[in-house]
Structure 1
């Protein structure tokens, strides 16, 4: 079996006194991935090795979960920032969605302009209501959010380590200089653009549904 490790959600703030937590979704299939009984692997100090979904609910578009291993607010607060990870069968997932891509497969690939210029390196894939975004670290320029749609990302070649991109003019050129090249693990910088800042034609369809 060829497996792929996928982060389905990140634990947010504790909610209430009985161990419920808010979730920051990293998937476009929350109902399936967060079904009751699903066991997530956890690699974090002070957290259980496994978190098993006891129940979930939604409120005003946000997801909340309770886990069998967490019964109180103190335990829930200790989970903040923990990633909920699943190990999936890549071949089985590909049969269901042959165009699916996962963050772990894209992270580290070089983003190359269709004119041959290297623009940066993929550091993450994030989900937003309108479309998925590739988070690209552009040397000396900070982080850029590139819509993961066919018109702007016509090809992904994992074996060659290349994401071919045809970004709109100014997306990579107009960012302020950023001398800190060592902060990739510290989360998005102030230079990161929001999805609203990046214009993409409404008629454009995604080349790959990440299916996480």
Structure 2
């Protein structure tokens, strides 16, 4: 299973730099100069390896220079590329409040009152925040905002939610 550590948002400048949304707690290690990154190209074009030649913070994101990209056209072609690592290479066991997406997939979800909601299918990372995609026993998908106010308890055994009115209502 793969974990996303970053996503190319756009090209920056004319020398082939790319702007990357960071999806890792350790960008200094994952995007260090000399590191080889596995990139999953957008639109199903497969995976390709890239070597980081420079990395610097920029407006809450990261600017990367890659050995394989030398101009703006090459950087533009990488828009949407996901940088990935193998899930087997990481564990969140050191911090009880940190979880990787793959550790939450398949975990049952209940309400604070004990009602069964379903099972986590995936964690979605969207510009507005993270969502838990939960499959209910009747086969519906419910998207639950992954914020402490709605998801007060998270473990790899069970996720407990305190849903606001209407969140779990069926759509007619």
TM above 0.5, yes or no, is yes
Match in the other structure for 1:6: 3
Separation in structure 2 between the aligned mates of residue 118 and residue 81 of structure 1, nearest angstrom = 33
Question: Unpaired segments of 5 or more residues in structure 1?
Answer: 158-162, 180-212
Match of 2:103, SS? helix
Separation in structure 2 between the aligned mates of residue 171 and residue 109 of structure 1, nearest angstrom = 23
Query: Contact 1:27–1:127 at 8 Å: present in 2 too?
Result: no
User: Size of the alignment, in residue pairs?
Assistant: 163
Separation in structure 1 between the aligned mates of residue 11 and residue 101 of structure 2, nearest angstrom = 26
Match of 1:75, SS? helix
CA RMSD of aligned residues (A): 3.3
With normalisation by structure 1, the TM-score equals 0.61
Deviation at 1:48, TM superposition (A): 6.3
Question: Unpaired segments of 5 or more residues in structure 2?
Answer: none
Deviation at 1:61, TM superposition (A): 2.2
Matches within 5 A, 1:35-184: 35-44=32-41, 49-87=48-86, 89-90=89-90, 94=93, 97-99=94-96, 100-114=98-112, 115-119=114-118, 121-124=120-123, 126=125, 133-137=130-134, 140=140, 143-147=143-147, 152-157=152-157, 163-170=158-165, 172-173=167-168, 177=171
With normalisation by structure 2, the TM-score equals 0.73
Match of 1:121, SS? strand
Higher relative contact order (CA 8 A, sep 6+): 1
Following TM superposition, where does structure 1 have runs of at least 4 consecutive aligned residues deviating by more than 6 angstroms?
none
Match of 2:29, SS? helix
